Chain A
């Protein structure tokens, strides 16, 4: 690629060590290639020449570091992404959870919250929203505050609408938001039972127990060892027979705790906890 600088593995190691000691965020077990790409993108966006200069800015400015933290993580998300997963949640997972008096769901690393609103809409359509408690967590304050407000660019709604149509929801996605200028403002009643929480999957501990955890397209940014730790955290955070949903090309098969789970739906990557 036509870049002014090339980030080498030793630069990454160096930077990870500094960020760990100064800010206590640990990126040491992130996937190398995507982390490298994020760094190169940050250099480009900020017109920074090389990794030494980047390091200098990270050390000297907390404001810069906060921006770095936002840009280093990937925040691509959509409503009802992979509509077939959402159909499966509706037809096979929620009917099982509906047998409980109360339902507890955790959206781990929820980014700007599109899947949290998707879940709230699904629960509302199934008549389950009132007895469900949702947690939506992310490492990054900025994206979490977007989730908390539920206001999204109108231009994103085309893909969200088309996912919702493929999901075969009961109405139209338009039933759940109002339009103001170039913004889609989601019905605040959808998030009455949602708790927003800053939480870092790398160093954060289990904080509650859940019937369903969704953590989609997050594990891809972690190496084997971190994937192991995160799956272990999820296993601890699930009630027995609770469900875990990951991204459509993610698998827990290679994790040490894989034997604590059974595969509930191989196509949609839904697992179920069967051992403590």
Chain B
């Protein structure tokens, strides 16, 4: 029984994310943590753009927001998003990691520390290697790892780096990621 999904992406991940959120069953029961690289100075608009197409609610959490199933949590601009033991999200303004805040590595690292083998980690299209250490942490702690098929990704740097960092369980097209998530127990 999985308890959470964490998804990371950068350049070229917007359409895949929309497709995933739009393809999830309306009664999808797991919390979904989304860490997507985004512009530092643009605080508004992104979450609204995702929410209009999504079958589950998408929110930008406040610090110490309580985690609920069936909700997608988008890392706010210019904050790292961490998963805290005890079912809350905490935010951080710590140093930029791999040119990024939010850092995909850090969201993956903290969520795998909390959820261990009950976590599904997914890396999508992107133009740097952020997320590679994170997905390796998910794998090391027994979670399930998925990477978007490089052949289908707009920019393959991020999927390639993830595949290089650990033994990925499944390399899938976005359509297959949706099917997988909707059938996962």
Minimal beta-carbon separation of A153 from chain B (angstroms): 15
Assess whether B85 is in contact with A32, with CB atoms less than 8 Å apart.
yes
Segment at the B interface, from A87-95, A125-133, A249-257: A249-257
Residues 31-49 (chain A) with a chain B CB within 8 angstroms: 31-34, 36-38
Q: How many residues of A contact B (CB 8 A)?
A: 29
- Pair B93/A9 contact, Cβ less than 8 Å: no
Binary contact readout B124-145 vs A (1 if CB under 8 angstroms, 0 otherwise): 0000000001101100000000
The reply to whether the CB of A76 lies closer than 8 angstroms to some CB of chain B is yes
In the complex, A262 has a CB within 8 A of chain B = no
Q: Which of A9, A37, A220, A221 lies in contact with B106, CB distance below 8 A? A: A37
Answer whether A37 and B136 are a contact pair too, CB < 8 Å, given A1-B105, A249-B63. no
Q: In the bound complex, how far is the Cα of B110 from the Cα of A33, in angstroms? A: 7
Give chain B nearest CB distance to A121 CB in angstroms. Answer: 20
Asked if A227 and B64 make an inter-chain contact with CB atoms under 8 angstroms apart, the answer reads yes
- Report the bound CA distance from A76 to B97 in whole Å: 13
Are B93 and A220 in contact, with the CB atoms below 8 A? yes
Residue B95 at the chain A interface, CB threshold 8 Å: yes
**CB-defined interface of A183-202 with B at 8 Å, one 1/0 digit per residue?**
00000000000000000000
Interchain residue pairs with CB less than 8 A apart (24): A1-B105, A1-B137, A9-B85, A32-B84, A32-B86, A33-B90, A33-B92, A37-B82, A37-B106, A166-B41, A219-B63, A220-B79, A220-B92, A221-B92, A224-B64, A227-B64, A247-B63, A248-B43, A249-B60, A249-B62, A249-B63, A249-B79, A251-B64, A254-B64
B82 & A2 in contact (Cβ 8 Å cutoff)? no
A250 close to B94 (CB less than 8 A): no
Cβ B93 vs Cβ A217 within 8 A = yes
Residue A74 is within 8 A (CB to CB) of chain B in the complex: yes
Asked if B106 and A31 make an inter-chain contact with CB atoms under 8 angstroms apart, the answer reads no
Binary A-proximity of B89-116 (CB < 8 A = 1, otherwise 0): 0111111000000000110011001000
CB distance from B93 to the nearest CB of A (A): 4
Asked if B83 is an interface residue, CB under 8 A from chain A, the answer is yes
Whether A76 lies near B84 (C-beta < 8 A) is no
Residues on A with C-beta less than 8 A from B95 are 76
Set A9, A224, A249: member contacting B76, Cβ < 8 A: A249
**Which of A74, A82, A227, A248 touches B92 (beta carbons < 8 Å)?**
A74
By Cβ-Cβ distance, the 6 closest A-B pairs, closest first, are A33-B82, A76-B93, A31-B90, A220-B63, A33-B110, A1-B133
Of the candidates A166, A224, A249, the one whose C-beta lies within 8 Å of that of B91 is: A249
A201-242, CB under 8 A of B: which get 1 and which 0?
000000000000000010111011001000000000000000
A-facing residues in B36-75 (Cβ within 8 Å): 41, 43, 60-64
